Amino acid sequence: MLATVCAVVYGTADFFGGLATRRSRVLAVVLLSQIAGLALLAALLPVLPGVLTTEALAWGATAGVSGTTGMVLFYRALAVGVMSVVAPITATTSAALPVLFGLATGERPEPVALGGVLLALVAVLLVSRDSSAAASGRGYGPVLASLAAGAGFGGFFVLLSQAPEGAGMWPLLGARTTSIALIALLALATRRPPRPGPGTLHVIVAAGTLDMAANALFVLAQQRGMLSLVAVLVSLYPASTLLLARYVLGERLNTVQVVGIGFTLAAVALIAGG
């Protein structure tokens, strides 16, 4: 239940983030949303129990590097690509990575889960086919960025799960402070002031707050269940992103993409079922 709610919240956060990147620079959206999320985390730390250790903060910081890389690439893909295509590609990649990590560390998922990984690869190829006029000239840039973003998010899940038992929300503090520092340094290096576009600040704050709420739900779910199950359930988040993109933005998909999205959700379901 925690993982399913987490997926809904992640998907809603990504929708708001995607909207913001269309009128603001990516670095501004990421930095300001991360700061908004840190404010929520500060309120959660005294409420949710946990033991503060150097190891917990270190694993969180490492996860923060992976997650920040994924977020920058993801928001970039959302800014130049079609939201209802970018989200499923990112999700299938981030769902498959924890399964592959489990295989490398000795886990042996059921054959149905491995079949889900293969189906996910097919889904990526199908859902990436955007033949609309609006997509002409985009090439494979958004697709490659989406794949890389999914790897970053998958790494975030794997690394965060390595924090010591009983750490509570403290690993998220390490992740979030590292993320803010990296984005601030990147903004300074590129000399791009992180100013939000007109009328986007409230959207950015909503994206950051929801993202941190989803992170907290993931930590709670992972502490109570297996990573290989929780991570793929969380990766169902495109469902809410797609619904919002469909009914708020009026995005349309071609037949191949519709089949690909169906394969995407089926792949995540197979991985979770394994």
| Residue with more model confidence, 207 or 98 | 207
Q: Mind giving me the DSSP string for 215-241?
A: HHHHHHHHHHS-HHHHHHHHTTTHHHH
Residue 214 has pLDDT above 90, yes or no: yes
Q: Select from 151, 181, 158, 224 the least CA-distant residue to 38.
A: 181
Say which range, 6-15, 43-52, 104-113, 203-212, has the weakest mean pLDDT: 104-113
Residues in Cβ contact with 140 at an 8 Å cutoff, skipping those fewer than 6 apart: 128
Place of tokens 């269940």: 225
Task: Provide the pLDDT for residue 136.
Answer: 45
C-alpha gyration radius of the chain: 18
- Write out the two tokens for 41: 């985390």
Per-residue pLDDT tens for 107-116? Answer: 776 788 778 7
pTM of the predicted structure, to 2 decimals: 0.80
Q: Mind giving me the DSSP string for 65-112?
A: HHHHHHHHHHHHHHHHS-HHHHHHHHHHHHHHHHHHHHHHTT----HH
Task: Provide the pLDDT for residue 137.
Answer: 47
Residues in Cβ contact with 19 at an 8 Å cutoff, skipping those fewer than 6 apart: 200, 203
CB atoms inside a 10 Å sphere around CB 206: 19
Residue 238 has pLDDT above 90, yes or no: no
Average pLDDT over residues 241-266: 78
DSSP secondary structure letter of residue 139: T
| Residue with more model confidence, 143 or 107 | 143
Q: How confident is the model at residue 24 (pLDDT cuts 50, 70, 90)?
A: confident
Among the residues of the chain, which ranges form H helices? 2-21, 26-44, 54-80, 83-104, 111-127, 141-160, 170-190, 201-224, 227-234, 238-244, 255-273
What is the C-alpha to C-alpha distance for residues 63 and 57, in angstroms, rounded to an integer? 10
Q: Domain limits of the chain?
A: 2-273
Most confident of 65-69, 111-115, 231-235: 65-69
pLDDT mean across residues, the chain: 83
CA angle 33, 38, 41 (to 5 degrees): 130
What is the C-alpha to C-alpha distance for residues 174 and 110, in angstroms, rounded to an integer? 34
Residue 13 has pLDDT above 50, yes or no: yes
What is the C-alpha to C-alpha distance for residues 53 and 57, in angstroms, rounded to an integer? 7
